[in-house]
Amino acid sequence: MEIYLAPLAHPDWRFQFPSMPDGDIDIRHATLYQEYSIIGMGRLSFPSGMDKEPIKWSGMFWGSSRRRISALNRRWQDPMTCINTLNNWQKNKTPLNLIISGGGVNRDVTIQEFDYKPTGGHGDFSYDITLYPYTELKIYTTAELGIKSSTKKQTAKKKKTNRNNAKKTAAFKKKTKKYTIKYGDTLWGISRKYYGSGTKWTKIYNKNKSAIEKAAKKHGFRNSNGGNRIWPGTTLTIP
């Protein structure tokens, strides 16, 4: 039986563990259960798939003084080379393919835990390793899935609605902007009040010419003299 690890992206960079584990390789399979509380039947559990359980074992990287002992080594490698390789894969969260020949194991994994320490006086290192099943996470765009994005449409629709509402509000305000002339008012003064400048008084006069001239005749004048004569109580529309 041999144990191999190889990066999924570079399967030719295969690492072979130089010696067999000290004991058993711990491989577990557990079934996930979903629990439900059903009236009259109590709490029931139903299987809902397989849980992902880690794979664990302990072993030795033998020092150079033991490199010729075939009973200990399948294929001797320098302990620090082994340690650095596994450390780098763990640090970079590298997806790996685990093969245990003769054990029927061929899985994609990552290194979850890797601990080691020098043992004895021969340059040996003992280690514990835990591998966790790896599943590639694929993220697709809505375009790749053929789904039309509703977010943009909703945003555009919302903006259009807001613009329409703003226009309606402005039109409503503009439509209902009225002013009733008081004693002492002039079109110049009313223009200044609404527009910040008296020079736009002709705008008010032209909009309300009919009402202003009617009020002038009501008070005995032939006309308002171009808006110079206005009377309290006349209601103006401010354009």
59 touches 19 (CB < 8 A): yes
Among 133, 151, 166, which residue terminates a domain?
A: 133
Comparing 32-36, 112-116, 117-121, 197-201, the range with the smallest average pLDDT is: 32-36
166 in a domain, yes or no?
no
190 in a domain, yes or no?
yes
Statement to judge: residues 123 and 15 lie in one domain: yes
Among 99, 133, 167, which residue terminates a domain?
A: 133
**Phi-psi region for residue 182, left (φ > 0), alpha (ψ -120 to 50) or beta?**
beta
34 in a domain, yes or no?
yes
Q: 56: which 2 tokens? A: 């664990």
Statement to judge: residues 197 and 103 lie in one domain: no
pLDDT for the residue 47 = 55
140 in a domain, yes or no?
no
What total number of domains does the chain contain?
2
Statement to judge: residues 103 and 215 lie in one domain: no
Among 70, 103, 133, which residue terminates a domain?
A: 133
Closest C-alpha among 97, 101, 124, 128 to residue 113: 128
Higher pLDDT, 151 or 228: 228
CA 186 centroid distance within chain: 61
Statement to judge: residues 53 and 125 lie in one domain: yes
160 in a domain, yes or no?
no
d(CA 63, CA 123): 4
Query: Over 70: is that where the pLDDT of 212 sits?
Result: yes
d(CA 212, CA 204): 10
pLDDT for the residue 67 = 84
- For 48-97, the three-class secondary structure string (H helix, E strand, C coil) is EEEECCCEEEEEEECCHHHCCCCCCCCCCCCHHHHHHHHHHHHHCCCCEE
Closest C-alpha among 54, 6, 2 to residue 27: 54
What are φ and ψ of residue 124, in 5° steps?
Answer: -80, 155
Tell me how far apart the 2 most distant CA atoms of the chain are, in Å.
131
Question: What pTM was estimated for this model as a whole?
Answer: 0.50
Higher pLDDT, 176 or 14: 14
Locate the DSSP E strands across the chain: 2-7, 15-16, 26-27, 30-38, 42-51, 55-61, 96-101, 105-119, 124-133, 178-180, 235-237
Statement to judge: residues 128 and 13 lie in one domain: yes
Statement to judge: residues 183 and 99 lie in one domain: no
Statement to judge: residues 11 and 122 lie in one domain: yes
The model's pLDDT over 34-90, given as tens digits with 9 standing for 90+, comes to 555 555 555 655 555 555 678 888 999 999 888 888 777 778 899 999 999 999 999
140 touches 149 (CB < 8 A): no
Query: Over 80: is that where the pLDDT of 147 sits?
Result: no
164 in a domain, yes or no?
no
61 in a domain, yes or no?
yes
d(CA 75, CA 69): 10
CATH number of 119's domain? 2.40.30.200
Give the domain extent around 79: 2-133
13 in a domain, yes or no?
yes
94 touches 7 (CB < 8 A): yes
pLDDT for the residue 46 = 54
